[in-house]
Structure 1
Amino acid sequence: MTWWARRMRIMRRPRPPLLHVATDAGTGPVVILVHGIASSSVTFYEVIPLLTPNHRVIAVDILGFGQSPAPDGCEYRLEDHVGALAATIRSLKLREPFVLVGHSLGSLISTRYAAMERHGRVWAAWRRLTGRGTVSRMVLVGPPVYVSPSDIGDPRVKARVSAYLRAYDFLRANKDFTLANAALMSRLLPKGIFELTEKTWTPFIKSMEHCIESQTVVSDVASLTVPVDVIYGALDAFIAQGSLTIIERMRHVTMHRVEANDHIIRKRLARVLVKVIDS
Protein backbone atom coordinates (compact mmCIF):
# COMPACT_ATOMS: atom_id res chain seq x y z
CA MET A 1 0.00 0.00 0.00
CA THR A 2 1.43 3.40 -1.01
CA TRP A 3 1.73 6.29 1.42
CA TRP A 4 -1.08 8.10 -0.45
CA ALA A 5 -3.40 5.08 -0.15
CA ARG A 6 -2.65 4.84 3.56
CA ARG A 7 -3.34 8.55 3.99
CA MET A 8 -6.65 8.32 2.16
CA ARG A 9 -7.64 5.31 4.24
CA ILE A 10 -6.97 7.24 7.44
CA MET A 11 -8.89 10.27 6.14
CA ARG A 12 -11.94 8.11 5.38
CA ARG A 13 -12.17 6.84 8.95
CA PRO A 14 -15.12 8.31 10.83
CA ARG A 15 -14.22 10.97 13.35
CA PRO A 16 -14.61 9.89 17.00
CA PRO A 17 -17.75 11.35 18.57
CA LEU A 18 -17.52 13.98 21.28
CA LEU A 19 -18.47 12.86 24.77
CA HIS A 20 -21.05 14.65 26.89
CA VAL A 21 -19.36 17.06 29.30
CA ALA A 22 -21.58 16.77 32.35
CA THR A 23 -19.58 19.13 34.57
CA ASP A 24 -17.23 22.00 33.79
CA ALA A 25 -17.04 24.07 36.94
CA GLY A 26 -14.57 25.89 39.17
CA THR A 27 -11.31 27.64 38.42
CA GLY A 28 -7.69 26.65 38.91
CA PRO A 29 -5.62 23.63 37.84
CA VAL A 30 -7.67 21.33 35.61
CA VAL A 31 -8.88 17.90 36.74
CA ILE A 32 -10.67 15.62 34.26
CA LEU A 33 -12.87 12.84 35.68
CA VAL A 34 -13.67 9.67 33.72
CA HIS A 35 -16.19 7.20 35.17
CA GLY A 36 -16.52 3.44 34.71
CA ILE A 37 -18.74 0.86 33.05
CA ALA A 38 -22.55 0.98 33.41
CA SER A 39 -22.31 4.32 35.16
CA SER A 40 -22.13 8.05 34.47
CA SER A 41 -20.36 11.16 35.69
CA VAL A 42 -22.59 10.92 38.79
CA THR A 43 -19.86 8.52 39.98
CA PHE A 44 -18.00 11.61 41.20
CA TYR A 45 -20.87 13.33 43.01
CA GLU A 46 -18.98 13.16 46.34
CA VAL A 47 -15.75 14.42 44.73
CA ILE A 48 -16.77 17.41 42.59
CA PRO A 49 -17.91 19.72 45.45
CA LEU A 50 -14.58 19.12 47.21
CA LEU A 51 -12.53 19.95 44.11
CA THR A 52 -14.31 22.96 42.59
CA PRO A 53 -13.14 25.51 45.21
CA ASN A 54 -9.54 25.11 44.00
CA HIS A 55 -9.78 23.41 40.58
CA ARG A 56 -11.49 23.55 37.25
CA VAL A 57 -13.30 20.21 37.28
CA ILE A 58 -14.41 18.55 34.05
CA ALA A 59 -16.46 15.33 34.25
CA VAL A 60 -17.47 13.42 31.12
CA ASP A 61 -19.80 10.53 30.35
CA ILE A 62 -17.88 7.77 28.54
CA LEU A 63 -18.94 6.43 25.14
CA GLY A 64 -22.29 4.61 25.26
CA PHE A 65 -23.20 5.68 28.80
CA GLY A 66 -24.82 8.62 30.54
CA GLN A 67 -25.70 11.27 27.96
CA SER A 68 -22.84 10.47 25.61
CA PRO A 69 -23.50 9.05 22.14
CA ALA A 70 -23.74 5.32 21.42
CA PRO A 71 -22.69 5.05 17.75
CA ASP A 72 -24.29 2.34 15.60
CA GLY A 73 -21.92 -0.54 15.00
CA CYS A 74 -19.44 0.57 17.65
CA GLU A 75 -17.45 -2.32 19.12
CA TYR A 76 -16.52 -0.35 22.27
CA ARG A 77 -12.88 -1.33 22.06
CA LEU A 78 -10.40 0.53 24.20
CA GLU A 79 -9.42 2.46 21.06
CA ASP A 80 -13.04 3.58 20.58
CA HIS A 81 -13.30 4.87 24.14
CA VAL A 82 -9.89 6.53 24.00
CA GLY A 83 -10.59 8.11 20.61
CA ALA A 84 -13.78 9.73 21.93
CA LEU A 85 -12.01 10.92 25.09
CA ALA A 86 -9.10 12.35 23.08
CA ALA A 87 -11.46 14.18 20.70
CA THR A 88 -13.34 15.65 23.65
CA ILE A 89 -10.18 16.79 25.43
CA ARG A 90 -8.94 18.40 22.20
CA SER A 91 -12.27 20.24 21.87
CA LEU A 92 -11.73 21.78 25.31
CA LYS A 93 -8.59 23.56 24.02
CA LEU A 94 -6.82 23.23 27.36
CA ARG A 95 -3.66 25.31 27.60
CA GLU A 96 -2.13 23.83 30.73
CA PRO A 97 -1.30 20.36 32.05
CA PHE A 98 -4.13 18.51 33.76
CA VAL A 99 -4.70 15.69 36.23
CA LEU A 100 -6.56 12.76 34.67
CA VAL A 101 -8.69 10.68 37.05
CA GLY A 102 -10.29 7.40 36.03
CA HIS A 103 -12.60 5.16 38.01
CA SER A 104 -12.95 1.43 37.23
CA LEU A 105 -13.15 1.08 33.42
CA GLY A 106 -12.43 4.80 33.28
CA SER A 107 -9.00 4.10 34.78
CA LEU A 108 -8.19 1.71 31.92
CA ILE A 109 -9.38 4.25 29.34
CA SER A 110 -7.50 7.12 30.98
CA THR A 111 -4.25 5.19 31.29
CA ARG A 112 -4.40 4.14 27.66
CA TYR A 113 -5.03 7.76 26.67
CA ALA A 114 -1.98 8.92 28.64
CA ALA A 115 0.18 6.13 27.18
CA MET A 116 -0.87 6.98 23.62
CA GLU A 117 -0.27 10.67 24.30
CA ARG A 118 3.27 9.90 25.41
CA HIS A 119 4.02 7.66 22.44
CA GLY A 120 2.66 10.20 19.98
CA ARG A 121 5.88 12.18 20.22
CA VAL A 122 5.31 14.50 17.25
CA TRP A 123 1.76 15.33 18.36
CA ALA A 124 2.89 15.81 21.97
CA ALA A 125 5.75 18.09 20.89
CA TRP A 126 3.37 20.19 18.80
CA ARG A 127 1.02 20.58 21.76
CA ARG A 128 3.87 21.68 24.02
CA LEU A 129 4.88 24.32 21.45
CA THR A 130 1.32 25.59 21.13
CA GLY A 131 0.60 25.45 24.86
CA ARG A 132 -2.03 22.70 24.65
CA GLY A 133 -2.69 20.63 27.77
CA THR A 134 -1.07 17.30 28.51
CA VAL A 135 -1.46 14.82 31.34
CA SER A 136 0.66 15.82 34.34
CA ARG A 137 -0.54 13.12 36.71
CA MET A 138 -2.69 9.99 36.66
CA VAL A 139 -5.05 8.93 39.45
CA LEU A 140 -6.61 5.48 39.07
CA VAL A 141 -9.51 4.65 41.37
CA GLY A 142 -10.51 1.00 41.78
CA PRO A 143 -8.74 -0.15 38.60
CA PRO A 144 -9.91 -3.68 37.63
CA VAL A 145 -6.44 -5.01 36.79
CA TYR A 146 -6.65 -8.52 35.36
CA VAL A 147 -3.45 -9.89 33.86
CA SER A 148 -3.89 -12.94 31.63
CA PRO A 149 -3.90 -16.02 33.94
CA SER A 150 -1.23 -17.60 31.74
CA ASP A 151 1.12 -14.76 32.74
CA ILE A 152 0.55 -15.13 36.50
CA GLY A 153 2.99 -17.28 38.46
CA ASP A 154 1.30 -17.29 41.88
CA PRO A 155 -1.34 -20.08 41.70
CA ARG A 156 -3.60 -18.30 44.21
CA VAL A 157 -3.65 -15.05 42.24
CA LYS A 158 -4.08 -17.01 39.00
CA ALA A 159 -7.14 -18.79 40.46
CA ARG A 160 -8.68 -15.51 41.65
CA VAL A 161 -8.21 -13.70 38.35
CA SER A 162 -9.52 -16.73 36.42
CA ALA A 163 -12.63 -16.73 38.61
CA TYR A 164 -13.28 -13.04 37.91
CA LEU A 165 -12.93 -13.55 34.15
CA ARG A 166 -15.31 -16.53 34.25
CA ALA A 167 -17.82 -14.41 36.16
CA TYR A 168 -17.68 -11.65 33.55
CA ASP A 169 -18.15 -14.20 30.80
CA PHE A 170 -21.22 -15.54 32.63
CA LEU A 171 -22.71 -12.04 32.97
CA ARG A 172 -22.29 -11.38 29.25
CA ALA A 173 -23.84 -14.73 28.30
CA ASN A 174 -26.88 -14.43 30.59
CA LYS A 175 -28.59 -11.19 29.70
CA ASP A 176 -31.87 -11.65 31.59
CA PHE A 177 -30.09 -12.67 34.79
CA THR A 178 -27.65 -9.77 34.54
CA LEU A 179 -30.30 -7.13 33.81
CA ALA A 180 -32.55 -8.36 36.63
CA ASN A 181 -29.76 -8.23 39.20
CA ALA A 182 -28.56 -4.87 37.89
CA ALA A 183 -32.04 -3.45 38.40
CA LEU A 184 -31.97 -4.56 42.03
CA MET A 185 -28.53 -3.03 42.59
CA SER A 186 -29.42 0.29 40.97
CA ARG A 187 -32.32 0.77 43.40
CA LEU A 188 -29.88 0.68 46.31
CA LEU A 189 -27.54 3.31 44.87
CA PRO A 190 -27.84 7.00 43.96
CA LYS A 191 -29.37 7.45 40.49
CA GLY A 192 -26.75 7.23 37.77
CA ILE A 193 -24.13 5.39 39.79
CA PHE A 194 -25.04 2.04 38.25
CA GLU A 195 -27.48 1.92 35.34
CA LEU A 196 -27.57 -1.21 33.20
CA THR A 197 -30.60 -1.34 30.92
CA GLU A 198 -31.58 -2.54 27.46
CA LYS A 199 -30.26 0.78 26.15
CA THR A 200 -26.79 0.31 27.62
CA TRP A 201 -26.58 -3.49 27.24
CA THR A 202 -24.48 -3.45 24.07
CA PRO A 203 -21.98 -0.84 25.34
CA PHE A 204 -21.80 -2.81 28.58
CA ILE A 205 -21.05 -6.27 27.21
CA LYS A 206 -18.71 -5.03 24.47
CA SER A 207 -16.79 -2.75 26.83
CA MET A 208 -16.50 -5.60 29.31
CA GLU A 209 -15.20 -8.03 26.69
CA HIS A 210 -12.92 -5.68 24.77
CA CYS A 211 -11.62 -3.43 27.57
CA ILE A 212 -11.84 -5.19 30.93
CA GLU A 213 -11.39 -8.84 30.01
CA SER A 214 -8.75 -7.94 27.43
CA GLN A 215 -6.75 -4.95 28.64
CA THR A 216 -3.44 -3.12 28.32
CA VAL A 217 -3.34 -1.29 31.66
CA VAL A 218 -0.16 -2.90 33.06
CA SER A 219 1.96 -2.09 30.01
CA ASP A 220 0.32 1.34 29.75
CA VAL A 221 1.14 2.23 33.36
CA ALA A 222 4.68 0.91 32.90
CA SER A 223 5.19 3.19 29.88
CA LEU A 224 4.25 6.40 31.70
CA THR A 225 6.73 8.90 33.11
CA VAL A 226 4.20 11.01 35.05
CA PRO A 227 3.31 10.13 38.66
CA VAL A 228 0.55 7.52 39.00
CA ASP A 229 -1.57 7.19 42.14
CA VAL A 230 -3.76 4.13 42.64
CA ILE A 231 -6.63 4.44 45.13
CA TYR A 232 -8.74 1.45 46.04
CA GLY A 233 -11.19 0.39 48.72
CA ALA A 234 -10.25 -2.43 51.07
CA LEU A 235 -13.73 -3.91 50.42
CA ASP A 236 -13.65 -3.51 46.62
CA ALA A 237 -15.16 -6.71 45.24
CA PHE A 238 -13.93 -5.98 41.71
CA ILE A 239 -10.25 -6.14 42.62
CA ALA A 240 -8.81 -9.64 42.74
CA GLN A 241 -6.47 -10.01 45.69
CA GLY A 242 -2.88 -9.88 44.47
CA SER A 243 -3.79 -8.48 41.04
CA LEU A 244 -2.43 -4.99 41.84
CA THR A 245 0.98 -6.27 42.93
CA ILE A 246 2.60 -5.89 39.52
CA ILE A 247 1.61 -2.20 39.37
CA GLU A 248 2.42 -1.57 43.01
CA ARG A 249 6.06 -2.48 42.36
CA MET A 250 6.53 0.19 39.68
CA ARG A 251 8.73 3.06 40.80
CA HIS A 252 6.43 5.89 39.71
CA VAL A 253 3.28 4.38 41.28
CA THR A 254 1.96 5.22 44.76
CA MET A 255 -0.76 3.05 46.31
CA HIS A 256 -3.52 4.32 48.63
CA ARG A 257 -5.72 1.76 50.39
CA VAL A 258 -8.96 3.13 51.86
CA GLU A 259 -10.44 1.09 54.68
CA ALA A 260 -14.18 0.41 54.93
CA ASN A 261 -14.80 1.40 51.30
CA ASP A 262 -16.03 -0.71 48.40
CA HIS A 263 -15.88 -0.01 44.64
CA ILE A 264 -18.05 3.12 44.86
CA ILE A 265 -16.48 6.51 45.54
CA ARG A 266 -18.03 7.19 48.91
CA LYS A 267 -17.20 10.10 51.24
CA ARG A 268 -14.15 8.47 52.82
CA LEU A 269 -12.58 7.59 49.47
CA ALA A 270 -13.58 10.98 48.00
CA ARG A 271 -11.58 12.77 50.71
CA VAL A 272 -8.53 10.61 49.99
CA LEU A 273 -8.89 11.24 46.25
CA VAL A 274 -9.03 15.02 46.71
CA LYS A 275 -6.06 14.93 49.09
CA VAL A 276 -4.03 12.99 46.51
CA ILE A 277 -4.92 15.48 43.76
CA ASP A 278 -3.99 18.44 45.96
CA SER A 279 -0.72 16.94 47.18
Structure 2
Amino acid sequence: MTWWAALGERFGRSRPPLLHIATDEGTGPVVILVHGIASSSVTFRELVPLLVPRHRVIAVDILGFGESPIPEGCEYRLEDHVDALAATIRSLKLREPFILVGHSLGSLIAARLAALPRTRASRRTQVSRVVLVGPPVYLSPSDIGDRWVRARVSAYLRAYDFLRLNKEFTLANAAIIARLLPKGIFELTERNWTPFVKSLEHCIESQTVVSDIAALRVPVDVVYGVLDAFIAAGSMTVIERMRHVTMHRVEANDHLIRPRLARALARVIDADVRADGGAGAGSLSGAATPAAAASVARLDKWTHEPSEEPADPSQ
Protein backbone atom coordinates (compact mmCIF):
# COMPACT_ATOMS: atom_id res chain seq x y z
CA MET A 1 0.00 0.00 0.00
CA THR A 2 1.35 3.42 -0.96
CA TRP A 3 1.64 6.18 1.59
CA TRP A 4 -1.16 8.07 -0.20
CA ALA A 5 -3.49 5.07 -0.01
CA ALA A 6 -2.62 4.56 3.63
CA LEU A 7 -3.38 8.21 4.35
CA GLY A 8 -6.68 7.95 2.51
CA GLU A 9 -7.62 4.82 4.43
CA ARG A 10 -6.74 6.47 7.73
CA PHE A 11 -8.82 9.59 7.16
CA GLY A 12 -11.56 7.69 5.36
CA ARG A 13 -12.43 5.68 8.42
CA SER A 14 -15.36 6.88 10.47
CA ARG A 15 -14.70 8.33 13.88
CA PRO A 16 -14.87 5.87 16.78
CA PRO A 17 -18.23 5.97 18.57
CA LEU A 18 -18.40 7.48 22.02
CA LEU A 19 -19.15 5.02 24.81
CA HIS A 20 -21.91 5.36 27.35
CA ILE A 21 -20.63 6.93 30.57
CA ALA A 22 -22.63 5.24 33.30
CA THR A 23 -20.92 6.86 36.29
CA ASP A 24 -19.11 10.18 36.71
CA GLU A 25 -19.13 11.26 40.33
CA GLY A 26 -16.86 12.36 43.14
CA THR A 27 -13.87 14.70 43.18
CA GLY A 28 -10.14 14.11 43.35
CA PRO A 29 -7.70 12.05 41.26
CA VAL A 30 -9.56 10.45 38.36
CA VAL A 31 -10.15 6.69 38.20
CA ILE A 32 -11.62 5.25 34.99
CA LEU A 33 -13.29 1.83 35.22
CA VAL A 34 -13.55 -0.51 32.22
CA HIS A 35 -15.61 -3.69 32.53
CA GLY A 36 -15.32 -7.01 30.73
CA ILE A 37 -17.07 -9.07 28.08
CA ALA A 38 -20.84 -9.74 28.29
CA SER A 39 -21.14 -7.30 31.17
CA SER A 40 -21.62 -3.60 31.90
CA SER A 41 -20.44 -0.90 34.26
CA VAL A 42 -22.58 -2.61 36.93
CA THR A 43 -19.46 -4.80 37.32
CA PHE A 44 -18.10 -2.09 39.64
CA ARG A 45 -21.19 -1.64 41.83
CA GLU A 46 -19.28 -2.72 44.95
CA LEU A 47 -16.18 -0.65 44.13
CA VAL A 48 -17.57 2.76 43.18
CA PRO A 49 -18.86 3.69 46.68
CA LEU A 50 -15.44 2.88 48.14
CA LEU A 51 -13.65 5.23 45.71
CA VAL A 52 -16.02 8.20 45.44
CA PRO A 53 -15.00 9.82 48.77
CA ARG A 54 -11.44 10.35 47.46
CA HIS A 55 -11.70 10.18 43.65
CA ARG A 56 -13.57 11.28 40.62
CA VAL A 57 -14.87 7.90 39.44
CA ILE A 58 -15.81 7.36 35.80
CA ALA A 59 -17.28 4.03 34.66
CA VAL A 60 -18.05 3.31 31.01
CA ASP A 61 -19.83 0.57 29.10
CA ILE A 62 -17.42 -0.90 26.55
CA LEU A 63 -18.22 -1.03 22.84
CA GLY A 64 -21.14 -3.36 22.08
CA PHE A 65 -22.21 -3.87 25.68
CA GLY A 66 -24.38 -2.19 28.30
CA GLU A 67 -25.81 1.02 26.85
CA SER A 68 -22.91 1.69 24.50
CA PRO A 69 -23.29 1.64 20.70
CA ILE A 70 -23.23 -1.58 18.67
CA PRO A 71 -21.79 -0.34 15.36
CA GLU A 72 -22.91 -2.28 12.32
CA GLY A 73 -20.02 -4.10 10.65
CA CYS A 74 -17.66 -3.65 13.60
CA GLU A 75 -15.20 -6.53 14.06
CA TYR A 76 -14.66 -5.78 17.76
CA ARG A 77 -10.92 -6.09 17.54
CA LEU A 78 -8.90 -4.81 20.46
CA GLU A 79 -8.15 -1.73 18.37
CA ASP A 80 -11.89 -1.04 17.99
CA HIS A 81 -12.43 -1.20 21.74
CA VAL A 82 -9.37 0.93 22.45
CA ASP A 83 -10.25 3.57 19.84
CA ALA A 84 -13.76 3.96 21.28
CA LEU A 85 -12.46 4.18 24.84
CA ALA A 86 -9.74 6.68 23.89
CA ALA A 87 -12.24 8.87 22.02
CA THR A 88 -14.57 8.82 25.03
CA ILE A 89 -11.79 9.77 27.43
CA ARG A 90 -10.68 12.61 25.16
CA SER A 91 -14.25 13.91 25.15
CA LEU A 92 -13.99 14.32 28.93
CA LYS A 93 -11.13 16.83 28.47
CA LEU A 94 -9.27 15.61 31.54
CA ARG A 95 -6.48 17.91 32.69
CA GLU A 96 -4.43 15.36 34.63
CA PRO A 97 -3.31 11.77 34.06
CA PHE A 98 -5.64 9.16 35.51
CA ILE A 99 -5.66 5.66 36.98
CA LEU A 100 -7.07 3.13 34.51
CA VAL A 101 -8.78 0.05 35.96
CA GLY A 102 -9.83 -2.83 33.73
CA HIS A 103 -11.69 -6.01 34.64
CA SER A 104 -11.46 -9.20 32.54
CA LEU A 105 -11.61 -8.12 28.85
CA GLY A 106 -11.46 -4.55 30.18
CA SER A 107 -7.98 -5.30 31.51
CA LEU A 108 -6.81 -6.21 28.00
CA ILE A 109 -8.30 -2.98 26.66
CA ALA A 110 -6.74 -0.95 29.47
CA ALA A 111 -3.28 -2.46 28.96
CA ARG A 112 -3.35 -1.74 25.22
CA LEU A 113 -4.57 1.85 25.68
CA ALA A 114 -1.88 2.56 28.27
CA ALA A 115 0.78 1.00 26.03
CA LEU A 116 0.03 3.28 23.07
CA PRO A 117 2.87 5.70 22.23
CA ARG A 118 2.48 9.09 23.90
CA THR A 119 1.82 11.90 21.44
CA ARG A 120 0.66 15.46 21.71
CA ALA A 121 -2.74 14.36 20.43
CA SER A 122 -3.06 11.73 23.19
CA ARG A 123 -2.32 14.01 26.13
CA ARG A 124 -5.97 13.73 27.18
CA THR A 125 -5.62 9.95 27.56
CA GLN A 126 -2.45 9.82 29.66
CA VAL A 127 -2.44 7.00 32.19
CA SER A 128 -0.54 7.28 35.48
CA ARG A 129 -1.17 3.74 36.73
CA VAL A 130 -2.82 0.60 35.41
CA VAL A 131 -4.82 -1.80 37.60
CA LEU A 132 -5.79 -5.09 35.97
CA VAL A 133 -8.50 -7.13 37.69
CA GLY A 134 -8.84 -10.81 36.85
CA PRO A 135 -7.01 -10.51 33.52
CA PRO A 136 -7.55 -13.57 31.27
CA VAL A 137 -3.92 -14.06 30.26
CA TYR A 138 -3.64 -16.73 27.56
CA LEU A 139 -0.41 -17.06 25.65
CA SER A 140 -0.45 -19.03 22.43
CA PRO A 141 0.02 -22.70 23.44
CA SER A 142 2.98 -22.91 21.07
CA ASP A 143 4.74 -20.23 23.17
CA ILE A 144 4.26 -22.04 26.49
CA GLY A 145 7.11 -24.27 27.59
CA ASP A 146 5.50 -25.90 30.63
CA ARG A 147 3.35 -28.74 29.28
CA TRP A 148 0.85 -28.55 32.16
CA VAL A 149 0.27 -24.82 31.69
CA ARG A 150 0.08 -25.38 27.92
CA ALA A 151 -2.59 -28.05 28.43
CA ARG A 152 -4.64 -25.80 30.74
CA VAL A 153 -4.53 -22.80 28.40
CA SER A 154 -5.39 -25.02 25.43
CA ALA A 155 -8.44 -26.29 27.31
CA TYR A 156 -9.64 -22.72 27.94
CA LEU A 157 -9.21 -21.79 24.29
CA ARG A 158 -11.11 -24.90 23.14
CA ALA A 159 -13.94 -24.02 25.55
CA TYR A 160 -14.18 -20.47 24.18
CA ASP A 161 -14.21 -21.82 20.64
CA PHE A 162 -17.07 -24.14 21.59
CA LEU A 163 -19.08 -21.27 23.07
CA ARG A 164 -18.69 -19.20 19.91
CA LEU A 165 -19.74 -22.04 17.62
CA ASN A 166 -22.76 -23.18 19.64
CA LYS A 167 -24.99 -20.14 19.89
CA GLU A 168 -28.16 -21.78 21.23
CA PHE A 169 -26.28 -23.67 23.95
CA THR A 170 -24.36 -20.57 24.99
CA LEU A 171 -27.37 -18.25 25.10
CA ALA A 172 -29.47 -20.75 27.02
CA ASN A 173 -26.81 -21.25 29.69
CA ALA A 174 -26.04 -17.53 29.81
CA ALA A 175 -29.71 -16.84 30.62
CA ILE A 176 -29.53 -19.24 33.56
CA ILE A 177 -26.36 -17.66 34.91
CA ALA A 178 -27.72 -14.12 34.46
CA ARG A 179 -30.72 -14.91 36.66
CA LEU A 180 -28.37 -15.84 39.51
CA LEU A 181 -26.49 -12.53 39.42
CA PRO A 182 -27.39 -8.86 39.88
CA LYS A 183 -28.84 -7.37 36.69
CA GLY A 184 -26.14 -6.10 34.36
CA ILE A 185 -23.28 -8.15 35.80
CA PHE A 186 -23.61 -10.77 33.08
CA GLU A 187 -25.75 -10.10 30.01
CA LEU A 188 -25.53 -12.20 26.87
CA THR A 189 -28.49 -11.95 24.52
CA GLU A 190 -29.28 -11.82 20.81
CA ARG A 191 -28.63 -8.08 20.98
CA ASN A 192 -24.97 -8.36 21.99
CA TRP A 193 -24.22 -11.81 20.55
CA THR A 194 -22.07 -10.42 17.73
CA PRO A 195 -20.00 -8.15 20.02
CA PHE A 196 -19.57 -11.15 22.33
CA VAL A 197 -18.34 -13.70 19.79
CA LYS A 198 -16.13 -11.24 17.94
CA SER A 199 -14.61 -9.79 21.12
CA LEU A 200 -14.02 -13.30 22.41
CA GLU A 201 -12.27 -14.36 19.21
CA HIS A 202 -10.36 -11.19 18.39
CA CYS A 203 -9.44 -9.93 21.86
CA ILE A 204 -9.35 -12.83 24.32
CA GLU A 205 -8.48 -15.87 22.20
CA SER A 206 -6.02 -13.84 20.12
CA GLN A 207 -4.42 -11.41 22.52
CA THR A 208 -1.31 -9.32 23.06
CA VAL A 209 -1.73 -8.48 26.74
CA VAL A 210 1.70 -9.82 27.79
CA SER A 211 3.56 -7.67 25.28
CA ASP A 212 1.30 -4.70 26.09
CA ILE A 213 2.08 -4.99 29.81
CA ALA A 214 5.80 -5.39 29.05
CA ALA A 215 5.71 -2.16 27.01
CA LEU A 216 4.18 -0.08 29.81
CA ARG A 217 6.25 2.60 31.52
CA VAL A 218 3.88 3.09 34.43
CA PRO A 219 3.27 0.90 37.48
CA VAL A 220 0.93 -2.04 36.99
CA ASP A 221 -1.06 -3.79 39.72
CA VAL A 222 -2.75 -7.12 39.03
CA VAL A 223 -5.57 -8.01 41.44
CA TYR A 224 -7.26 -11.39 41.18
CA GLY A 225 -9.32 -13.83 43.20
CA VAL A 226 -7.82 -17.17 44.18
CA LEU A 227 -11.04 -18.86 42.99
CA ASP A 228 -11.10 -17.10 39.61
CA ALA A 229 -12.19 -19.78 37.14
CA PHE A 230 -11.03 -17.74 34.14
CA ILE A 231 -7.39 -17.72 35.17
CA ALA A 232 -5.50 -20.81 34.08
CA ALA A 233 -3.05 -21.96 36.76
CA GLY A 234 0.46 -20.84 35.87
CA SER A 235 -0.70 -18.60 33.02
CA MET A 236 0.33 -15.34 34.73
CA THR A 237 3.86 -16.41 35.63
CA VAL A 238 5.32 -14.40 32.77
CA ILE A 239 3.82 -11.10 33.98
CA GLU A 240 4.54 -11.86 37.64
CA ARG A 241 8.25 -11.63 36.79
CA MET A 242 8.06 -8.14 35.30
CA ARG A 243 9.71 -5.51 37.53
CA HIS A 244 6.93 -2.96 37.19
CA VAL A 245 4.13 -5.42 38.02
CA THR A 246 2.81 -6.05 41.54
CA MET A 247 0.51 -9.04 42.08
CA HIS A 248 -2.29 -9.10 44.68
CA ARG A 249 -4.11 -12.35 45.45
CA VAL A 250 -7.48 -12.06 47.17
CA GLU A 251 -8.62 -15.10 49.09
CA ALA A 252 -12.13 -16.55 48.80
CA ASN A 253 -13.06 -14.56 45.68
CA ASP A 254 -13.89 -15.64 42.16
CA HIS A 255 -13.91 -13.65 38.91
CA LEU A 256 -16.57 -11.15 40.01
CA ILE A 257 -15.81 -7.97 41.94
CA ARG A 258 -17.54 -8.99 45.14
CA PRO A 259 -17.19 -6.99 48.40
CA ARG A 260 -13.96 -8.71 49.46
CA LEU A 261 -12.20 -8.07 46.15
CA ALA A 262 -13.66 -4.55 45.94
CA ARG A 263 -12.07 -3.66 49.28
CA ALA A 264 -8.71 -5.04 48.20
CA LEU A 265 -8.95 -3.19 44.90
CA ALA A 266 -9.80 0.09 46.63
CA ARG A 267 -6.72 -0.32 48.81
CA VAL A 268 -4.52 -0.81 45.76
CA ILE A 269 -5.88 2.36 44.16
CA ASP A 270 -5.67 4.38 47.37
CA ALA A 271 -2.08 3.23 47.95
CA ASP A 272 -1.14 5.13 44.80
CA VAL A 273 -2.90 8.28 46.04
CA ARG A 274 -1.30 8.13 49.48
CA ALA A 275 2.15 7.54 48.06
CA ASP A 276 2.07 10.19 45.35
CA GLY A 277 -0.31 12.73 46.88
CA GLY A 278 -2.49 12.40 43.80
CA ALA A 279 -2.62 10.69 40.45
CA GLY A 280 0.13 12.67 38.76
CA ALA A 281 2.05 11.47 35.76
CA GLY A 282 4.61 8.85 36.59
CA SER A 283 7.23 6.81 34.82
CA LEU A 284 8.74 3.66 36.16
CA SER A 285 12.43 2.96 36.44
CA GLY A 286 12.77 0.04 38.78
CA ALA A 287 11.07 -0.28 42.15
CA ALA A 288 8.23 1.84 43.44
CA THR A 289 8.74 4.63 45.96
CA PRO A 290 9.25 3.58 49.61
CA ALA A 291 5.84 4.95 50.57
CA ALA A 292 4.15 3.02 47.80
CA ALA A 293 6.08 -0.12 48.70
CA ALA A 294 4.94 0.20 52.32
CA SER A 295 1.32 0.57 51.21
CA VAL A 296 1.60 -2.48 48.98
CA ALA A 297 3.19 -4.47 51.79
CA ARG A 298 0.23 -3.65 54.04
CA LEU A 299 -2.17 -4.67 51.28
CA ASP A 300 -0.38 -7.98 50.68
CA LYS A 301 -0.61 -8.75 54.38
CA TRP A 302 -4.31 -7.95 54.38
CA THR A 303 -5.15 -10.04 51.32
CA HIS A 304 -3.05 -13.07 52.26
CA GLU A 305 -3.94 -13.47 55.90
CA PRO A 306 -7.28 -15.04 56.91
CA SER A 307 -10.00 -12.43 57.17
CA GLU A 308 -11.47 -11.63 60.55
CA GLU A 309 -14.89 -11.36 58.93
CA PRO A 310 -17.25 -14.32 58.64
CA ALA A 311 -16.61 -16.48 55.59
CA ASP A 312 -19.71 -15.36 53.70
CA PRO A 313 -19.75 -17.19 50.34
CA SER A 314 -21.30 -14.12 48.68
CA GLN A 315 -18.07 -12.23 49.39
Residue in 2 aligned with 1:23? 23
Distance in 2, Cα, partners of 1:11 & 1:198: 33
Equivalent residue letter for 2:99: V
Match of 2:38 in 1: 38
- Tell me the TM-score normalized by structure 2: 0.84
1:211 aligns with 2:211: no
Partner of 2:73: 73
- The separation in 2 between residues aligned to 1:16 and 1:35, in whole angstroms, is 18
Which whole-Å CA distance do the structure 2 matches of 1:64 and 1:2 have between them? 33
CA contact (8 A) 2:18 2:88 kept: yes
Describe how 1:172-183 pairs up with structure 2 within 5 A: 172-183=164-175
Question: Which residue, 231, 234, 239 being the options, matches 1:239?
Answer: 231
Q: Who is 1:83 aligned against? A: 83
- Give how far 1:134 is off: 1.1
Identity %: 78
2:230 maps to 1:220: no
How much does 1:11 deviate? 1.2
Q: What secondary structure does 1:7 align onto? A: helix
Partner Cα separation in structure 2 for residue 208 and residue 30 of structure 1: 29
Equivalent positions of 1:107-256 (< 5 A) are 107-116=107-116, 119-124=117-122, 127=123, 132=124, 134-256=126-248
Amino acid at match of 2:164: R
Residue 9 of structure 2 corresponds to which residue in structure 1? 9
The answer to whether the 8 A contact 1:95-1:133 is kept is: no
Query: RMSD value over aligned CA atoms?
Result: 1.1
2:18, 2:87 within 8 Å by CA — same for their partners in 1?
Answer: yes
**Distance in 1 of aligned mates of 2:174 and 2:9:** 41
CA positional deviation for 1:167:
0.3
* Secondary structure class of the residue paired with 2:252: coil
Which sections of structure 1, spanning at least 5 residues, go unmatched?
none
Q: Counterpart of 2:110 in structure 1: which amino acid? A: S
Of 253, 256, 260, 1:261 maps to 253
- For the residues of structure 1 that align with 2:175 and 2:54, how far apart are their CA atoms? 37
1:2–1:213 CA distance, 2 compared to 1 (3 A): closer
Q: How many residues align?
A: 271
Counterpart AA for 1:134: Q
